[in-house]
Amino acid sequence: MSRKKNTSSDIGLLEVVKYGHPALRSKGRRIDRIDDSIVTLAEEMLQTMYEEEGVGLAAQQIGRSIQLAVIDVMVAVKDRPSRAWLDGREIELDSLMPLVMINPEIHPVGTDREIGTEGCLSIPGLLDEVDRPARVRIVCQELSGETLDFEAEGLLARAAQHEYDHLHGILFIDHLPAESLREHQPLLRKLQAKSSDF
């Protein structure tokens, strides 16, 4: 699959489920076989992410409980830079983007942490500060089936951790202190009520 933004009209858009949908709290199963259906789903997820103006999207957010997430930090604002290293050498970000992560593992590198603003396409209208490891090692499969093993900082590290959480049924609001979470309860209750049909 091309790493460039696909604007083909034959790629379908998917519905992004909102807070309260049970899929958002489900742990995704490992993908044992990367077949055409997974490739198509990844392409549809990327197009949906671009349409929604997000930088990441996990399978749980389109109602699928599998270990698949997509990221493209090149579409993000310029004041939130990213860096990446492969085999100890810094690489150009566009060589990784868009990133399709299948069965990812993420490990902190060092002890430095960063607080940064996060939001979520599944929790529209809510932004808050989240404390996460500043640099991480990401090991995942690509659509080709090859293993990708690299380190990241900045927005890419944050986005990868955010999406990795989704794949395990964790939302970014779970990292917030109780006081902040209380402040967001009116919006969360409103979104929960809209999802009560599920």
pTM, two decimals, is 0.92
Structure tokens at 147: 């293993």
pLDDT tens profile 68-91? 999 999 976 677 899 999 999 999
Residue 23 has pLDDT above 50, yes or no: yes
User: Before 98, cis peptide (omega within 30)?
Assistant: yes
Rounded Cα distance, 185 and 173, in Å:
11
- Give domain limits for the chain: 22-194
Quick one: what percent of the chain has pLDDT higher than 70?
92
The pLDDT of residue 42 is above 50? yes
Tokens of 1: 């699959």
Q: Cα separation of 18 and 120, whole Å?
A: 9
pLDDT tens digits, 108-158 = 999 999 999 999 999 999 999 999 999 999 999 999 999 999 999 999 999
Q: How big is the chain, counted in residues?
A: 198
Cα gap 57→67, rounded to integer Å: 12
pLDDT value at residue 2: 30
Annotated active-site residue 163? The verdict is yes
Class of domain 22-194 (CATH, top level)? alpha beta
Contact 130/168 with Cβ under 8 angstroms?
no
What is the Cα–Cα distance from 177 to 39, expressed in whole angstroms? 38
- Of 43, 118, 153, 163, which one is the catalytic site residue? 163
Which residues of 75-163 form beta strands (DSSP E)? 82-86, 89-91, 99-108, 113-118, 128-133, 135-141, 147-154
Split at pLDDT 50, 70, 90, the class of 10 is low
d(CA 61, CA 78): 26
> For residue 197, what pLDDT band results from cuts at 50, 70 and 90?
low
What percentage of the chain exceeds 90 in pLDDT? Answer: 88
**pLDDT in the model for residue 3:** 35
Mean predicted lDDT score pLDDT of the chain: 93
Does position 104 have pLDDT exceeding 60, yes or no? yes
Answer whether residue 27 shows pLDDT above 60: yes
* Mean pLDDT score, 26-44: 98
Those residues with Cβ within 8 angstroms of residue 83's Cβ, 6 or more apart along the chain or in another chain? 90, 93, 152, 153, 154, 156
pLDDT of residue 6: 46
Q: Is the pLDDT of residue 9 over 60?
A: no
Question: Does residue 198 carry a pLDDT above 90?
Answer: no
Residue spans of beta strands (DSSP E) within 25-98: 56-58, 68-71, 82-86, 89-91
